[in-house]
Chain A
């Protein structure tokens, strides 16, 4: 970026004249989707192998102590869940099901895993989505402010805040936030996604806030939003901290560039310089970090969901893991893997959108 003194990005393509044959974005997407499928297969293999390596017998986790003493019941249970087959065959059956869109039956809920996921994934998406929105807006804004006011009081304050956000363990923060805001200050509502007396909105998207709006129930909407606020902010604090730090250093680096000085020298308004010159160049590293951070939000939700009794895939994954519910664990693994793949894909596409010098290949 440093060799482009006078023109702000977009920068002219240095390989002009060699026009690509197919649309580069389409080619890129096809390749990435194929790669993603390969990765998804890898995920199924790894989760299957890991879950089966764990010492412990699903039968012991699922049957009572008396029932365990009866070989007929144990055999019946194994047969019912396909555990009487050799391991490789179990895996093939699982793969075959996957190809038909069947994730298998959960041993704990006795429902298809896909139905379970359809119920729990929206709750987590709502929580993580809110956290992503808040952290993108606040993290970038804080980072820019800190960079522009470098070494002033607000910069120091924001740096301390981001340090806290990064270093405080999420589960501890969740407990403290619940204790302080719910119990002590009585500002926020308690466990769950919505007030039990109001009941959930009729399910359409599974996102409580959206469903409430669709049903025109403002009481449920405000209750859902209030229930969402604390866990989402707790979950967002880490990514806010991370984004603030990276935005600050990325913006500082760009601020020192000659073209920014030139833009200022020719009298452009500060706002234009900031948004058009500085922020656009700084976005590439910010997006890289944001993509990684959002992946980590998913692991954070397990703990946050536990404290706030939020019925999402974190709770489902924990329960599935402790009862050695193999199909459910693999279903969750697949969803989490898919989310990572989508985020990575989105980040790669965004590179090209933000910086045309980046060619999608």
Chain B
């Protein structure tokens, strides 16, 4: 009996010891220990893979950018001009169909073997033919090796966009011999993903030390990297909720927090650096043009009433500092974006007049949106509620129909939403990505906008697609957006701010519209 009470006493003591230990073990600053520099990045994971040929999520692109190199890249956050990376030069033929790239000599993979033209051909063909998420990037592009240091990419029609697509980390060059030993092929039967998720076959500044899609990714500096050695030897990317990210970075448990909302960065300690940049995501409203879906939103005067009735300034305030209004569907970072001076403004009287002219009386419309989705920390729910209130003043009753994103996407993709609230981020930083908003194209169809629905808009789109040279393209895409704003079913609203909080010791951080952050660019103070 005595033993039993002793056991109980022991257990109690153990529990108390556990509790006591908990309050004693404050951790040292991670970056300071062991002589090596560790960087901890907190972010909300949307990670699926570390196989560059299958990567298409923001977190995955951060990892891909660090581990793999691409033929071309961008200098800092400037996405208007592709610059050499693994290719030392590139040239687009006059008809825009052939892109010739000269391979840089001396670049090596982590295992010391040189990056060859064969690796390039294998990597790009693999992305294209594996039919993974990013394979559309190279749709219809023929990849060939002319000689040991020359690659030609040939498209069926003029493809001036290609130099802007090549910097995408999904098109990172993999060590083809190594990958093939682990099941890599250039068709859907490829089996290399599991291998690429645990080790890396790239030539980038970092290597994968450990990789877990739902909790943590650890990168270590690639000792054989042929470029400038990165400032941090070890980088830990952790999956952390936004609220916890804020506390971690404030206390020095992490050095970078990527997903804080405007409200969350408002009261940050002065010792931290807060970068607020409009993201390249444009949030927009769509009004369905398919008469089978709605008899209300197909009315052009109704769309005009919505466009004039939204209180843009109010939405911008809701989105928080650093956000920007979207004058057109193309975000401000890209060539062809409309100037900020053309930003939309509310015209309540004009909206009421348009509604009266529509002959619809006081219509009721359904607005569908992904309820749990946040874009750069901004939630869709309050945006939708604000729009509902705005349009109420015009005389339009908005029936909010939130749904989980996977459910909401179904109706959106099938063009069944009467009205929808969504966002679009560029697949590559070139305005041609936004041709998808035209009648009969992917996003146009989601708004029930069929081919031939609007001749002027379609013509302006064709002109923009065919324009060559920066000046001509800028003018043509501006014209296309003006036409879209005048006659299209889309109401661009805003670009939410991408807020990045960094410790004072971290230097060189710039938000990048494609890969968010280039870890190798970060310095230490």
The verdict on A319 contacting B409 (CB below 8 Å), with A67-B135, A195-B27 known, is no
> Shortest Cβ distance from A106 into chain B, in angstroms?
9
Q: Judge whether A35 is part of the interface by a CB distance below 8 angstroms.
A: no
Contact with A along B238-279 (1 / 0, CB 8 A): 111101100110110110000000000000000000000000
Question: Is A26 at the interface (CB under 8 A from chain B)?
Answer: no
> Who on chain A is nearest to B251 by CB?
A183
Contact of A133 among B15, B27, B253, B405 (CB under 8 A): B15
Contact A223 B25 (CB under 8 A): yes
User: Would you call A108 and B21 a contact (CB within 8 A)?
Assistant: no
B19 touches A134 (CB 8 A): yes
Inter-subunit contact A55/B407 (CB<8 Å) = yes
B247 lies within 8 A of A179 (CB) = yes
Give residues of chain A (231-247) contacting chain B, Cβ–Cβ below 8 Å.
232-233
Binds B, one of A148-156, A162-170, A293-301, A308-316: A308-316
Interface string of A56-93 (1 = CB under 8 A from B): 11101111111111101100110010000000000000
Structural contact, B22 and A67, CB atoms closer than 8 A = no
Interface centre among B45, B136, B403 (most CB of A within 10 A): B136
Q: How large is the interface on A (under 10, 10 to 19, 20 to 34, 35 or more residues)?
A: 35 or more
Nearest-Cβ distance from residue A157 to partner chain B, whole angstroms: 18
Which chain A residues (316-334) contact chain B, with CB distance < 8 Å? 316, 319, 322-324
What's the least CB distance linking B199 to chain A, in Å?
A: 14
Minimum CB distance partner of A79 in chain B = B188
Determine if B215 and A110 form an interchain contact, defined as CB atoms under 8 angstroms apart: no
Could you say which residues of chain A place their CB within 8 Å of the CB of B524?
none
The contact of B214 among A63, A229, A315, by CB within 8 Å, is A315
Contact with A along B421-461 (1 / 0, CB 8 A): 00010010000000000000010000000000000000000
Say if the beta carbon of B360 comes within 8 Å of chain A. Answer: no
Q: Does A175 contact B (CB under 8 A)?
A: yes
CB distance A68 to B56 under 8 Å? Answer: no
A307 contacts B by Cβ under 8 Å: yes
**Interface of A (DSSP majority class):** helix
Contacts A141-B12, A229-B19, A316-B214; A324 near B248 (Cβ below 8 A): no
Residues of A within 8 A of B8 (CB): 137, 275
**B193 at interface (Cβ–Cβ under 8 A)?**
yes
Q: How near does chain B come to A314, taking the closest CB pair, in angstroms?
A: 10
Interface string of A210-234 (1 = CB under 8 A from B): 0000000000001101111110110
Q: Are B22 and A309 in contact (CB under 8 A)?
A: no
A307 in complex: contacting residue of B22, B216, B241, B410, CB < 8 Å? B241
A70 (CB) vs chain B CBs: closest residue: B136
A70 to chain B, nearest CB (A): 6
Partner of A108, one of B48, B56, B238, B250: B48
Q: Is the CB of A307 within 8 A of B25?
A: no
Known: A66-B136, A192-B238. A110 touches B197 (CB 8 A): yes
Asked whether any CB of chain B lies closer than 8 Å to the CB of A111, the reply is: yes
Task: Using A66-B442, A72-B131, A183-B250 as known contacts, say yes or no to A190 and B406 having CB atoms under 8 A apart.
Answer: no
Query: How far does the alpha carbon of A79 sit from the alpha carbon of B419 in the complex, in Å?
Result: 33
Minimum distance in angstroms from B140 CB to a CB of chain A: 12
Once the chains bind, are A189 and B239 in contact (CB under 8 Å)? no
Contact A73 B136 (CB under 8 A): yes
**Are B38's CB and A197's CB within 8 A?**
yes
Tally inter-chain residue pairs, CB-CB below 8 A. Answer: 208
In the complex, chain B residues whose CB is within 8 Å of the CB of A182: 247, 251, 253
The answer to whether B193 and A110 touch across the interface, beta carbons within 8 angstroms, is yes
Q: Find the A residue at minimum CB distance from B55.
A: A64
Q: Which parts of B1-34 form the interface with A (CB within 8 Å)?
A: 1, 4-5, 8, 11-12, 14-15, 18-19, 21-28, 30, 33-34
Please name the residue on chain B nearest to A67 by beta carbon: B133
Asked whether B25 lies within 8 Å of A322 as measured between CB atoms, the reply is no
Contact B253 A191 (CB under 8 A): yes
Q: Which residues of A contact B48 (CB under 8 A)?
A: 62, 108
A67 to chain B, nearest CB (A): 4
Asked if B15 contacts A197 (CB within 8 A), the reply is: no
Distance between Cα atoms of A179 and B132 in the complex (Å): 42
Question: What is the bound-complex CA distance between A66 and B57, given in angstroms?
Answer: 12
Q: How far is the CA of A111 from the CA of B248 in the complex (A)?
A: 30
B241 touches A60 (CB 8 A): no
Cβ of B185 to closest chain A Cβ, rounded Å: 14
Contacts of A222 in B (CB 8 A): 21, 25
Q: From B21, B188, B404, give the contact of A226 (CB < 8 A).
A: B21
Q: Are A67 and B136 in contact (CB under 8 A)?
A: yes
User: Is A130 part of the contact surface with B, judged by Cβ < 8 Å?
Assistant: yes
Q: With A73-B131, A110-B194 given, is the CB distance from A137 to B15 under 8 Å?
A: yes
Q: Does B212 contact A (CB under 8 A)?
A: yes
Query: How long is the Cα–Cα vector from A230 to B139 in the complex, in angstroms?
Result: 51
Is A264 in the interface zone, CB < 8 Å from B? no
B177 at the interface (CB under 8 A from A): no
B286 at the interface (CB under 8 A from A): no
Would you list 23 pairs from A and B whose C-beta atoms are within 8 A, ordered by A residue?
Answer: A66-B442, A80-B188, A108-B214, A110-B193, A110-B197, A130-B18, A137-B11, A175-B243, A187-B26, A190-B251, A191-B238, A192-B216, A192-B238, A223-B25, A225-B18, A226-B27, A228-B22, A229-B19, A308-B244, A309-B239, A309-B241, A319-B45, A322-B404
* A interface residues, Cβ below 8 angstroms from B: 54-58, 60-70, 72-73, 76-77, 80, 108-111, 119-120, 130, 133-134, 136-138, 141, 175, 178-179, 181-183, 186-192, 195-198, 222-223, 225-230, 232-233, 271-272, 275-276, 306-309, 311, 315-316, 319, 322-324
Give the top 3 A-B pairs by smallest Cβ distance, nearest first.
Answer: A229-B22, A226-B25, A190-B253
Known: A182-B253, A196-B238. 6 other contacts (CB 8 A): A137-B12, A189-B25, A226-B24, A232-B22, A275-B8, A309-B239
